[in-house]
Amino acid sequence: MDGGRGTLTGGDVANHVKGVLNGGFGLIQGLGMTLKHLFEPPVTIQYPDERWEPAHGFRGVPVLTVDEKTGELKCVGCQACARACPPQVIHIETSRKDDPDGRKKLNIDAFSIDMSRCMLCNLCVEACAFDAIAMSSHYEMADYDLEGIVFDKEELVALYKRTRTAMVRAGHSWTPDEPEDKE
């Protein structure tokens, strides 16, 4: 091209035609997808009358797990989950206590998770060596004030007892009972 005016070469015309054809093909693909879904039944859930059932391995609110035999928290207060949390939403307060065996242990005085900033990233579960924290299937956290979505130790244990949990670790998952969505 010479000074903004000139002749188009054969390669320029071919590239232009190729771009138009690719755009047209993409448009036809998109319209085809729309027509395909037009005749399928809707997947709308009438919330709150109907509840969405999360898939196995869904990462909802992190919960504190309880030892089924003793009924005690599995958490030992090491704070590995709090250190691994990118937005630093896990707050743990501990104090020393004497074990009947004469060993010194940590007592969990306070444990809270601020769900207003939690990313549901599962890093706290990965960091815990004692399987003391797991991701639950609980996803309904709406509240009028932010203090309502800061879960304390008792609320996290209650959520563990009433929801399905799955510990997803490095590509495989473990669940206390069989998943409901077998295929």
Give the count of beta carbons closer than 10 Å to the beta carbon of residue 33. Answer: 10
How far is the C-alpha of 86 from the C-alpha of 81, rounded, in Å?
10
b/e burial code for range 107-118 (CB count within 10 A of at least 16 → b): ebeebbbbbeeb
| pTM metric for this prediction | 0.67
CB 75 within 8 A of CB 108: yes
**Are 82 and 125 contacting, i.e. CB atoms less than 8 angstroms apart?**
no
In CATH, the number for domain 62-174 is 3.30.70.3270
Per-residue pLDDT for the chain (183 aa), expressed as one digit of tens each?
445 566 767 778 888 888 888 888 999 999 999 999 888 888 888 888 988 888 877 888 999 999 889 989 999 999 999 999 999 999 999 998 877 777 778 899 999 999 999 999 999 999 999 999 999 888 888 889 988 899 999 999 999 988 877 655 544 455 555 545 544
User: Which segments of the chain does DSSP mark as H helices, in order?
Assistant: 10-38, 80-84, 123-127, 153-162
